Amino acid sequence: MRIVLVGPPGAGKGTQATRLAEKLRIPHISTGDLFRANISRQTELGKLAKSYMDAGNLVPDEVTIAMAKDRMEQPDAEGGFLLDGFPRNVSQAEALDELLQTEGIKLDAVLDLEAPEDEVVKRIAGRRVCRKDSAHVFHVTYSPPQQEGVCDACGGELYQRDDDSEETVRTRLEVYHTQTEPIIGYYRAQGLVVTISAMGPVDEVTERALEALKSGK
């Protein structure tokens, strides 16, 4: 299957993308991974992307699109792929359509993960990360530490990252609504959108997504 995964920050896209790609036996292609891979390998696209990032600017669509094209042409993506974070706007969605048409292939579905805005803010703003080891992550409501402000694993101080503050989360949501959400309408016009609730246990959301992709609803 060839799938685009969309949804607001905090809807669990990263978690579900990894799980769905594994279940469907297709590669998970995320924008972040594309940037990191190209930059670490010092490809021409990676060097170009880094020059924009170092200057504090957004990487232009054409660079992101070129990276995605290169990745989708790899042998492991011949049977399908799951795109996460790309396309992020209608211009990129149109460019993706052109790329796929050139290859004589098309998307099978656009999976839209829905979550109430207040829940998204609660999920992200409640995160607390260990200063000693950022792999240790807690949540004030869903997975609180045994002692408030202290990491269960190593005793390090838990803190809220700047990116996780409520103000920042609401700004990220505004950007999502303005830039990315319109692609849902773009793909809905093509009959590709499958919408599911991102609420509930992770396993249940995964099964819900698989069933929706299978039935096309």
Best CA proximity match to 18, nearest among 29, 9, 31, 6: 29
C-beta separation of 16 from 205 below 8 A:
yes
172 assigned to active site: yes
How far apart are alpha carbons 161 and 178 in whole angstroms?
Answer: 24
Both structure tokens of 50 = 């880094």
- For residue 48, the one-letter residue type is L
List Cβ<8 Å contacts ≥24 apart for 68-73: 68/29, 68/31, 68/34, 68/96, 68/99, 69/99, 70/45, 71/27, 71/29, 71/34, 72/29, 72/99
For residue 57, the SS3 value is: coil
88 assigned to active site: yes
Best CA proximity match to 67, nearest among 97, 38, 100: 38
25 assigned to active site: no
Q: Which one of the listed residues 19, 88, 122, 128 is annotated catalytic?
A: 88
23 assigned to active site: no
Peptide bond into 201 cis (omega under 30): no
Q: Which one of the listed residues 2, 50, 170, 172 is annotated catalytic?
A: 172
Q: Which one of the listed residues 25, 161, 188, 214 is annotated catalytic?
A: 161
Instruction: Tell me the β-bridge partners of 137.
Output: 129
127 assigned to active site: yes
Q: Which one of the listed residues 13, 19, 122, 123 is annotated catalytic?
A: 13
DSSP-derived letter for residue 158 is E
Q: What positions carry a catalytic annotation? A: 13, 88, 127, 161, 172
